[in-house]
């Protein structure tokens, strides 16, 4: 078993990428992702990581370099955040459509304007429909472990899709946490060498990125959706084997004190740790509260969500992004759709909180719950708006 | 076609390949000199290459799924990023080769885009590629407008040409009223080891330049004038002729910049008047004598500057 040390989460993530023996890292500096690529460039400069570090001139080129590199059959990594993701968005969609297994560390951050460098989920929701596998992390250890898992799933011949590791900006990227490091042996045991089905090389000529006439486009999109759905068992298998190796068990949906819960809070990312405290507090007061953490956002674990929420009377979904002009925020939208046909469906409440780095405490979450339960409109509320 | 070439006694350049790396049956317009340029570029490099291509005419005529015209490994990702994709392919192969995960052989990486994909939307990615020093040959096949989307002006459209977004009218009597971006000078200013202009009319010169680019240690930039009968509104059988006229009038001189040294590759004793080049091109049909003279002055001035640079 590896050693456990206090380290900044971004640095730990970069170390994990290094342990994975990545071949190409292409990235552009953007706060709060910077420490990840800074550390990777240090590893390359010192020779402790044998990889090509490509300091590109834009995020758009970062993802483009990643596409070229992954198409050549190289293990490929990038990291970005908010505006950077917005700029590279065009190529984010193409990367998944071309089935290029890139791993991206996304330091989740608000989109401009007003310019904000602080945490929420508006960036990742922008590329919600891009066809990437999207995983959320709650703490530093999860981020570190997610890197190995991401490469393994992305490069699996049954999947061959890019993976986005969502890491809450500052709340997670810049905190120092105790992290149990993997060893080289563990990594080699867990992560096989990347053997692409097709690679750009003169020894076997391929055409990649052909254009699709109307006769073929629908079928191409259907196949892409199938591929993303079929990645689900591979993702689970990756987590199961990670548990065998580390003793840490991850699931697409994780439950905390939900067995007899009447009220369930559902969230994604680091807010779940805060919500755990809120649930404990409510349990102390004799309230039957529980928490559902949604780790896997795409492909969405529909059946697992149904199971997790079955039996609850009220569900409060904590969203960290606004879908302007919509009926509800992005996560709630999915949860309401999933539960609609269930015979014993709970009341599903929606609160948007923690936008652009606004702090959310356990007390806030309890307050949100009270606010939501009192609201019978089935719309959504934005929490903590100062008048 | 290979038979005919074999029977000819002329051996214009060493290692002239009789292989075809872009198949016939593609969907290019009749008389397209751009696909001819591509054909010569590929011949000059040979099979051990990977081509990253921008969205544009050459991409769209060659790759309607499930068909392909390419006999070399080929990738298309988007419009503005051929240089970045090529940077990625080069970096990936470099790392894999170093780690012994791909066969240990030299593979030439080529990026290719049209004038829109190079001088406008792909400008930044190209500058990044050249500045970082990737060993990539970047080929701009310049047909002087966005032909694939229906003949819109680019920053490489010459002064006086009409396009669908630079039409001639009362306010803008010449049509395009800005001067063509000087990409070769911009590329050379990056301090890369080799940049050159070429034209498929002078295909031996073109192939020699590509072969030179293949040998240099670092990025290279080749700007190829690719006559477009559809967009220039000339008969399809005149593409080669107009390529010759572009060079002989000084509108598109053939030159190269090798390690900072400028060299003219074709120096006519006397430049032909540009009116000869304009004649018959529908895109210049509206030009009056005043504009023709103004353009002539500019072309002469630029030519004289170039000659001086190349002394």
With respect to residue A130, please indicate whether it lies within any of the assigned structural domains: yes
Whether the per-residue pLDDT at B209 is higher than 90: the answer is: yes
Structure tokens at B290: 């005043």
| A77 shares a domain with A148 | yes
CA angle, corner A301, sides to A297 and A304, nearest 5? Answer: 130
* pTM for this model (two decimals): 0.96
Q: What is the mean pLDDT of residues A185-212?
A: 97
| A263 shares a domain with A155 | no
What would the pLDDT profile of A86-100 be if each residue is shown by its tens digit? 999 999 999 999 999
SS3 for chain A is CCCEEEEEHHHHHHHHHHHCCCCEEEECCCCCCHHHHHHHHHHHHHCCCCCEEEECCCHHHHHHHHHHHHHCCCCEEEEECHHHHHHHHHHHHHHHHCCCCCEEEEEECCCCCCCCCCCCCHHHHHCCCCCCEEEECCCHHHHHHHHHHHHHHHHCCCCCCCEEEEEECCCCCCCEEEEECCCHHHHHHHCCCCCCCCCCECCECCEECCECCHHHHHHHHHHHHHHHHHHHHHHHHHHHHHHHHHCCCCCCEEEECCCCCCEEEEECCCHHHHHHHHHHHHHHCCCCEEEEEECEEECCCHHHHHHHHCCCCEEEEEECCCCCCCCCCHHHHHHHHHHCCCCCCCEEEEEECCHHHCCCCHHHHHHHHHHHHHCCCCCCEECCCCC
| A266 shares a domain with A235 | no
Q: What is the mean pLDDT of residues B15-39?
A: 94
Residue A377: its pLDDT value, please? Answer: 82
> Which among B85, B94, B124 is the nearest to A67, CB-wise?
B85
Residue B32: its pLDDT value, please? Answer: 98
What would the pLDDT profile of A33-68 be if each residue is shown by its tens digit? 999 999 999 999 999 999 999 999 999 999 999 999
Q: What is the mean pLDDT of residues B228-246?
A: 98
Whether the per-residue pLDDT at A382 is higher than 60: the answer is: yes
CA distance B25 to chain A (A): 16
With respect to residue A387, please indicate whether it lies within any of the assigned structural domains: no
Percent of chain A residues topping a pLDDT of 70? 99
Mutating which of A21, A97, A200, A211 best tests the B interface, going by the most B Cβ atoms within 10 A?
A200
Q: What is the mean pLDDT of residues A262-275?
A: 97
Whether the per-residue pLDDT at B2 is higher than 60: the answer is: no
Average pLDDT, chain A: 97
- Identify whether the C-beta of residue B159 lies closer than 8 Å to the C-beta of residue B242: no
| A309 shares a domain with A223 | no
Residue B3: its pLDDT value, please? Answer: 47
Mutating which of A97, A101, A202 best tests the B interface, going by the most B Cβ atoms within 10 A?
A202
Q: Which residues of A17-50 are buried (b: 16+ CB within 10 A; e: fewer)?
A: bbbbbbbbbbbbebbbbbbbbebbbebbeeeebe
| A231 shares a domain with A286 | no
Average pLDDT, chain B: 95
What would the pLDDT profile of B88-138 be if each residue is shown by its tens digit? 999 999 999 999 999 999 999 999 999 999 999 999 999 999 999 999 999
With respect to residue A371, please indicate whether it lies within any of the assigned structural domains: yes
Residue A376: its pLDDT value, please? Answer: 82
Domain range for A67: 4-246
Q: What is the mean pLDDT of residues B216-233?
A: 98
> Where is the domain boundary, A185, A216, A246?
A246
Chain B residues 41-60 within an 8 A CB cutoff of chain A: 47-50, 52, 59-60
| Domain count of the fold of chain A | 2
CB contact under 8 A, B77 and A94: yes
- Give chain B's length: 311
- Counting one residue from chain A and one from chain B, the pairs whose CB atoms sit within 8 A come to 173
ipTM of the complex: 0.96
Q: Is A233 on the interface with B (CB under 8 A)?
A: no
| Confidence band, pLDDT 50/70/90 cuts, at residue A106 | very high
Going along chain B from its start, the domains and CATH numbers come out as 2-309 (3.40.50.970)
| A225 shares a domain with A278 | no
| A164 shares a domain with A22 | yes
| A280 shares a domain with A226 | no
> Which among B47, B75, B132 is the nearest to A202, CB-wise?
B47
CB contact under 8 A, A76 and B84: no
Residue B17: its pLDDT value, please? Answer: 87
> Where is the domain boundary, A211, A246, A281?
A246
| Confidence band, pLDDT 50/70/90 cuts, at residue B1 | very low
Chain B residues 80-119 within an 8 A CB cutoff of chain A: 80-81, 83-96, 98-99, 101-103, 105, 107
Residue A375: its pLDDT value, please? Answer: 86
Report the chain B residue with the minimal C-alpha distance to residue A99: B77
Residues of B in contact with A99 (CB under 8 A): none
């Amino acid at each position: 078993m590896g050693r456990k040390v206090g380290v900044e989460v971004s640095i730990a993530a970069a170390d994990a990428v290094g342990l994975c023996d990545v071949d190409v890292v292409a990235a552009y500096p953007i706060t709060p992702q910077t420490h990840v690529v800074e550390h990777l460039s240090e590893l390359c400069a010192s020779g402790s990581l044998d990889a090509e570090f490509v300091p590109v001139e834009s995020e758009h080129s970062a993802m483009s370099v990643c596409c070229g590199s992954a198409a050549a059959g190289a293990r490929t990594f990038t990291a970005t955040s908010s505006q950077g993701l917005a700029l590279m968005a065009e190529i984010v969609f193409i990367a998944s459509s071309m089935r290029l297994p890139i791993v991206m560390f996304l330091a989740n951050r608000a989109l401009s304007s007003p310019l904000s460098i602080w945490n929420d989920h508006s960036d990742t929701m922008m590329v919600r429909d891009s066809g990437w596998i999207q995983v959320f992390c709650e703490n530093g250890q999860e981020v570190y472990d997610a890197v190995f898992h991401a490469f393994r799933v992305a490069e699996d011949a049954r999947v061959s899709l890019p993976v986005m590791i969502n890491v809450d900006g500052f709340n997670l990227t810049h905190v120092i946490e105790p992290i149990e490091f993997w060893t080289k042996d563990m990594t080699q045991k867990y992560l096989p060498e990347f053997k692409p089905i097709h690679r750009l090389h003169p020894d076997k000529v391929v055409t990649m990125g052909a254009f699709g006439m109307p006769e073929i486009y629908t079928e191409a999109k259907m196949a892409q959706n199938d591929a993303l759905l079929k990645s689900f068992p591979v993702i689970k298998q990756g987590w199961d084997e990670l548990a065998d190796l580390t003793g840490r068990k991850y699931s697409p949906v994780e439950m905390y004190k939900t067995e007899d819960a009447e009220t369930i809070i559902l969230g994604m990312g680091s807010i779940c740790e805060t919500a755990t405290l809120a649930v404990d507090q409510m349990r102390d007061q004799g309230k039957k509260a529980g928490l559902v953490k949604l780790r896997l956002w795409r492909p969405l674990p529909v059946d697992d969500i149904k199971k997790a929420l079955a039996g609850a009377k009220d569900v409060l979904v904590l969203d960290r992004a606004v879908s302007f002009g919509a009926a509800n925020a992005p996560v709630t939208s999915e949860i309401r759709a999933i539960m609609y046909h269930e015979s014993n469906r709970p009341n599903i409440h929606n609160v948007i909180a923690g936008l652009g780095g606004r702090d959310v405490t356990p007390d806030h979450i309890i307050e949100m719950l009270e606010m939501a339960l009192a609201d019978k409109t089935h719309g959504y509320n934005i929490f903590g708006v100062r008048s | 076609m290979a038979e005919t070439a074999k029977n000819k006694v002329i051996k214009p350049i060493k290692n002239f390949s009789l292989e075809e790396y872009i198949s016939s049956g593609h969907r290019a317009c009749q008389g397209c000199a751009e696909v001819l340029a591509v054909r010569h570029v590929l011949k000059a490099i040979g099979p051990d290459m990977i081509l990253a291509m921008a969205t544009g005419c050459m991409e769209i005529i060659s790759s309607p799924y499930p068909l392909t015209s390419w006999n070399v490994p080929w990738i298309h990702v988007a419009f503005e990023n051929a240089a970045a994709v090529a940077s990625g392919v080069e970096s990936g192969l470099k790392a894999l080769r170093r780690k012994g995960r791909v066969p240990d052989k030299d593979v030439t990486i080529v990026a290719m885009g049209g004038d829109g994909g190079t001088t406008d939307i792909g400008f930044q990615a190209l500058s990044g590629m050249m500045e970082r020093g990737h060993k990539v040959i970047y080929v701009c096949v310049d047909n002087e407008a966005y032909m694939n989307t229906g003949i819109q002006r680019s920053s490489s459209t010459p002064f006086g040409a009409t396009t669908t977004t630079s039409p001639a009218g009362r306010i803008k009597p010449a049509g395009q009223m800005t001067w063509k971006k000087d990409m070769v000078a911009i590329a050379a200013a990056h301090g890369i080891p080799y940049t050159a202009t070429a034209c498929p009319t002078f295909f031996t010169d073109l192939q020699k330049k590509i072969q030179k680019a293949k040998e240099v240690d670092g990025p290279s930039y080749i700007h190829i004038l690719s006559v477009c009968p559809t967009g220039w509104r000339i008969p399809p059988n005149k593409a080669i002729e107009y390529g010759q006229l572009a060079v002989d009038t000084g509108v598109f001189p053939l030159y190269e910049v090798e390690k900072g040294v400028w060299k003219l590759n074709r120096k006519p004793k006397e430049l032909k008047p540009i009116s000869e080049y304009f004649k018959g091109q529908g895109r210049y049909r509206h030009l009056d004598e005043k504009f023709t003279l103004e353009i002539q002055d500019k072309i002469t001035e630029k030519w004289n500057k170039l000659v001086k640079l190349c002394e």
